Amino acid sequence: MLLVDDLLFSPVKGIMWIFKKVHELAEEELTGEADRIRESLTELYMLLETGQITEEEFEQQETLLLDRLDALDEDDNMIGDA
């Protein structure tokens, strides 16, 4: 009976494995993008501190980066944890 069960459920197990891998790759991509945005924010703060950009430029760029980070957080919440 176990052999029959294994044969019947092997396609389902294969599909579940594929979905799990796609989920893992999506989470890795979101994490990588979030890290890049945080690095950009750090650089932006450094530019402001050294006087290389104005307060207005800083606020515009910071808003864009924070909006992207919020959007990624929402996407991450939609993907959820496995």
CA atoms of 24 and 80, how far apart (whole Å): 11
Contact indicator for 27, 77 with CB cutoff of 8 Å:
no
Residue pair 79/26 in contact (Cβ under 8 Å)? The answer is yes
CB count in 10 Å sphere of residue 56: 8
Structure tokens at 13: 């197990």
What integer pLDDT is reported at residue 81 of this predicted model?
52
Instruction: Give the pLDDT of residue 61.
Output: 96
Q: How many independent structural domains does the chain possess? A: 1
Identify whether the C-beta of residue 1 lies closer than 8 Å to the C-beta of residue 50: no
Give the residue ranges of the chain where pLDDT is below 50: 82
User: Which structural domain, as residue segments, surrounds residue 67?
Assistant: 2-79
Q: pTM for this structure?
A: 0.63
